[in-house]
Amino acid sequence: MKHAFMFGTTIFLSEQNTLTYSDGLSNIEFLRVLSFYDDSKGRVLTIDANITSPAGNVIK
């Protein structure tokens, strides 16, 4: 299954349920989809995100 992630006007396609980025030295997991929305099964979209501000503060 392919996953589409939209940020603003940019779309990222992935075979995995995660998005990663590289800081030049290593790949860092940015976002992981834990469950998908399915109204018929009563499921909601659940994600785990690793986001920090430019000052290094964790954003949840």
Residue 21: what pLDDT?
A: 83
Mean pLDDT in each 10-residue stretch from start to end of the chain (60 residues)?
82 84 85 87 86 83
Measured CA to CA, the distance from residue 45 to residue 26 in angstroms comes to 28
Every domain of the chain and the residues it spans: 16-59
Residue 43: what pLDDT?
A: 84
Residue 47: what pLDDT?
A: 86
In this prediction the pTM is 0.61
Residue 23: what pLDDT?
A: 83
